[in-house]
Amino acid sequence: MNTRALLAASLLTLHLSTFAHAQVTVDITKITCRQFLTGRVVPTKSIALWFSGYYSGKRGATMIDMGTIRPNAEKVRDCCALNQDETLMKAVEAALGAK
């Protein structure tokens, strides 16, 4: 009986672990400020880091000032609070002058 339970638990664990490794893609251009504020699509910290890297790359910068990530994210959050139906990309550009 214990062998069956152990085998069943092992199979269940293997089956569930395949779901844990599923990849999810997100179209950043479609995330709204409302989704950013609630963290529904992507955790807020993760998206702030992504935007920092994205715009640094567009400028050709190879270094990121980690001290600016939090204040910049707060500026974007404040802009989004006033324009919740706007896309996050537009809010970033408006709040930070990023293009």
Query: For the residues 17-34, what does the mean pLDDT come to?
Result: 75
Give the model confidence (pLDDT) of 58-73 as tens digits: 889 888 888 988 899 9
Q: Which residue segments constitute the domains of the chain, with CATH numbers given?
A: 24-96 (1.10.890)
Q: Residue 44, class by beta-carbon neighbours within 10 Å (0-12 exposed, 13-18 middle, 19+ buried)?
A: middle
Of the chain, the end-to-end C-alpha distance in Å amounts to 64
pTM of the model: 0.69
CA-CA distance, 91 to 84, in Å (whole number)? 9
